[in-house]
Structure 1
Amino acid sequence: MKQKIQILSLMLLSFNVVKAQKTDVAKAFASAEKQTIVLIKNVDSARKDKPNLVSPRTVEKGAFKMVVSKDWTSGFFPAELWYFYQYTKDKKWLDLAKKYTEDIKKEQFNRGTHDLGFMIYCPFGNGYKLTKDTAYRSVIVQAAKSLSTRFNKTAGVLKSWDHNGDKWKYPVIIDNMMNLELLFEATKFTGDSSFYKIAISHADNTIKNHFRPDFSSYHVIDYDTTQNGKILQKLTAQGYANESAWARGQAWALYGYTMCFRETKKQAYLAQADGIANFILSSKITPEDGIPYWDYNDPQIPNVSRDASAASITVSALYELAKYSKNSKKYKSAADKILYSLSTKYVSKPGENYGFILEHSTGHRPAKSEIDVPINYADYYYLEALLRSKN
């Protein structure tokens, strides 16, 4: 019995040591800068042969993968460069951020995607905050107009996907919460409340329809827009099963409702964010380092991939949520722990992975795509988390 108590004490001591450790932000940023310089060289090299490829997305099966501007991940790379400028105030990063941001500009007119928040707001939003360039503001407003065309009044939500019409009629994914910030910002710029009202309607209906009693989220809700927004299906397309909790989906939800509370001060959004945070942080499945498996309900755990991207999104959200919630100390402690794990166990070795910062993310495991790889949105939210940890 004495031996069991000693073992338990050591386990608790180990947990407290990990929890107490803080990330050296200066060191982490310096390492990330060196990696990103390697990444930029690879980007420029790839574009010599294929100039239509604008952003690095991942490394899959050893191959460096670039994407065109209409890819949903295209905005994360230039947005990362804005974060380097924000941290260093070095004109080198300002010039690079401006250069690669321009490559995404035409997507402000793209009405065929819900991902304009990722594609446009991440680079142009950060660019505007740091430069106050009115040209960036105009792009954001136009992108919000384009996104608004995907709103259906009957269902009260923005349509996510136009593809696979044989599987669903009007699919809305939890990721779509991340695009609402673009709409909130457009109302601030223009005074036009229609953008704000669309964002509120989408957020309210997502609370109503996307979540289970334990605050875990489905990935996809399929609406019937001809019958008062009737729910046709509740699915989890990128997770293990329809009733499973896909890790990145839970992270999108946490980040989205934290942001919605910031923009509206509606207590329902803070309560939703608290509930989602509790689901994530109370998981008995997540390993001690705080980096989740790709899906909380995969029966093959622990022999499945982790998702550093879900961790990056989560930790960034937790730092902001700690500013608003009565659970501030709990969230700050959890965020510190996860960020330390990412910074010490999940960073690429210098010069490897073509210059991506983090490794061990999972994109779309059911499609056997981007499993245990570096990926651009993991890097973006990791840098954001580093910046937020300082505040």
Structure 2
Amino acid sequence: MSPSTLPATGQSNGSLEYEDVTIQIDGIKSKNHSQAGLPSAVETTTPGHALGGDLAKLFSDNVVLKIWKTAIEHIERENPPQSFPETCPQTGPQAGQYQYRDAEFWTCGFFPGSLYCLLERSVRYPQAFLTEAGSGVRERERLRTELLAVCRTWSEPLHDMAGRKDTHDIGFIVEPALRRDYELTGSARSFASLVRAAESLASRYSETTKAIRSWDRFVNNGNSFVDKESEFLLIIDSMCNLDLLYYAGHHASSQRLIDIATNHAHTIRATHLRPEPSVPSSSDALYSTCHVANVCPLTGRVLQRLTAQGYAAASTWSRGQAWAILGFAQTYGWTGDATFLRTACGLADYFLLRLREAPACVEQRRDGGGVGRHVPLWDFDAPVDEARPLRDTSAGVIAANGMLLIAHAAAASGDFARFEKYYKAATTIVDETMALCYAKDSLELVGQESGVGVVARRASGCAESRFDCILKCATANFNENWTDRYADHGLVYADYYLLEFGNRLLQFGYA
């Protein structure tokens, strides 16, 4: 998500209003007619790009119906939700069925966020929402009408979590849903929860280390960090929680929140980034990343670098690299500090280098060509099973979002060579991800008389097995020091960042 102005307040009953607003996204200002303070598209001088191939699936009805089906079926059992979707196994007795986590787990905000991505799309970009002929007009309109209420049902538990000070993941928990609820409806309650969550995150900041403590403890079969007096754990994922601080800081006029976010970004740049040899294809210094750094609480000095979810301390865990790309790109969008943009570019270029250098087994033959090189391995340095290379689609789509922000920043500054480089990289990653890992079971809308007016069912004649996620081939955690290891599955935040990528293309006028 990227900077925007304060939206006009909507009706208290959640109805959406049209306003004339000035918006600012990554340095580009534009006057737009928008619903609830959001632009229909940012006007730039960037040449238009038609989406072809598998990218078109980003806006298919099936993407909408998968999220809708899971949302409705779960709240018919549990309302409001007390558990949230996380993984969807590809094999075993529960293959194709979402597995749920309790509401305290850090991933709980992504499914409500996915619903709000659909709401955002239906409000701002109706030309890209439920446009296929397969669904009846009446059923499509009923879904549109009921979508906000379902979003609110799923996001309700998130408000109580805004006061949590036991986690740095509060940005992941509240922002995907509640920021959109505020921007699309003007909800004062959602805005208050966002600000409260930002204050909760800021409470974990140390002026000594100039950083926000990521974890209070880290214990598995190979590690035991439990002493907060002598240990201060920082993880690369934390870069993507800074967006909450910047958003709340700017909208609530708190320079303190803004400064905390910027200080933390500078600290992570020093503690987690590893300089890599330069390559001719990049004009920026290249960086890989470690996952975890333990620093001294009294001095901020790095005591140890290690991993929790990657292959090894010195390896490059692909999702960690992706978090860094997106986080530093977002930070540049808020600060305008070119250091953060160069850092994001160096991280992205290293990610792309490792995609190019992956073994030949990552490519599969399709339609006379190869596909799969741009769907990243779960860790760029882990041993590869050539018969079944283990990938992480979430790493790819998260990185693609960051690269799209870099491309948009380049377009804003008139650097169209850089724009083309990162736009092409981002869309190629998502295109190949959709080609290789898109779950092909199909759904259709069915009206009903009681309860929610429209539900999604398996389409008649669909031969593919049920799969609740949009994407397959994610890897949540394959580190050997954990008893529970998860690989080759669907993953809720892979789907969320896929939806967000589609919305960003629409937002920036690239689709």
Normalization by structure 1: what TM-score?
A: 0.89
Unaligned runs of 5+ in 1: 1-19
Pick from 265, 274, 279: which aligns with 1:212? 274
Alignment counterpart, residue 170 of structure 1, candidates 226, 232, 253: 232
CA RMSD of aligned residues (A): 2.1
Letter in structure 2 aligned against 1:54: S
Between structure 1 and structure 2, the one with the greater Rg is 2
Distance 1:175-1:24 versus aligned 2 partners, 3 A rule: closer
What is the correspondence of 1:123-138 to structure 2 with a 5 Å cutoff?
123-138=177-192
Instruction: Return the alpha-carbon distance in structure 2 between the equivalents of residues 334 and 371 of structure 1.
Output: 25
Counterpart residue number, 1:282? 353
CA deviations 1:309-356 (Å, max 9, x no partner) are: 011111122112101134110111112212212223212232555521
Which has more strand, going by share of residues?
2
Is residue 2:502 matched to residue 1:365?
Answer: no
Q: 1:95 aligns with which of 139, 144, 149?
A: 149
Give the Cα separation in 2 of the matches to 1:176 and 1:189: 21
Q: Which has the higher contact order (CA 8 A, sep 6+)?
A: 2
> Which AA in structure 1 matches 2:71?
I
Instruction: Give the conservation status (yes or no) of the 8 Å contact 2:81–2:154.
Output: no
Distance across 2 between alignment mates of 1:52 and 1:355? 17
Equivalent of residue 338 in structure 1, options 425, 429, 434: 429
How many percent identity over aligned positions?
28
Letter in 1 for 2:478: R
Aligned equivalents of 2:265, 2:58: Cα separation in 1: 38
**Residue correspondence of structure 1 range 1-391 to structure 2 within 5 A:** 21-25=52-56, 28-44=59-75, 47=78, 53-60=82-89, 61=92, 62=94, 64-89=98-123, 90-164=144-218, 166-167=224-225, 169-214=231-276, 215-226=287-298, 228-283=299-354, 284-286=356-358, 287=362, 289=372, 290-302=374-386, 303-325=388-410, 326=415, 327-350=418-441, 352=465, 354-366=467-479, 367=482, 368-390=484-506, 391=509
Structure 1 equivalent of residue 15 of structure 2: none
Q: Deviation per CA, 1:271-318, whole angstroms, max 9, x where unpaired?
A: 000101100112234445311000000122544410010111111221
Runs of 5+ consecutive residues of structure 2 not aligned to the other structure: 1-50, 124-143, 277-286, 363-370, 442-457, 459-464
Aligned equivalents of 2:147 and 2:244: distance in 1? 24
More helix by share: 1
- Shift in Å at residue 212 of structure 1? 0.6
Is contact 1:37-1:355 (8 Å) kept? no
Length, aligned pairs only: 370
How far, CA to CA, are the matches of 2:111 and 2:81 in structure 1?
Answer: 15
Contact 2:205–2:213 (8 Å) recurs in 1: yes
Deviations 1:82-119 (A, max 9, x none): 11111123232222111111121111011000001100
Q: Which residue identity does 2:402 align to in structure 1?
A: A
Does structure 2 conserve the Cα–Cα contact (< 8 Å) formed by 1:173 and 1:221? yes
Take 2:60 and 2:260, find their aligned partners in 1: how far apart are those partners?
37
Would you say the 8 A contact 1:223–1:229 is kept in 2?
Answer: yes
Secondary structure in 2 aligned to 1:355?
A: coil
Shift of 1:80: 0.5
Determine the C-alpha separation between the residues in 1 that align with 2:339 and 2:470. Answer: 36
SS in 1 for 2:85: strand
- 1:77–1:376: 8 Å Cα contact kept in structure 2? yes
State the AA in 1 paired with 2:68.
Answer: I
TM-score (norm 2): 0.69
Contact 2:67–2:114 (Cα < 8 Å) also in 1: no
Alignment correspondent of 2:31: none
Partner of 2:475, secondary structure, is strand
Deviation digits for residues 156-210 of structure 1, max 9, x if unmatched? Answer: 1111111237336211000000110110011112211110111011000111111
Residue 365 of structure 1 aligns to a residue whose secondary structure is coil
Inter-partner Cα distance in structure 2 for 1:43 and 1:346 = 25
Q: How far does residue 369 in structure 1 lie from its aligned partner after superposition?
A: 2.2
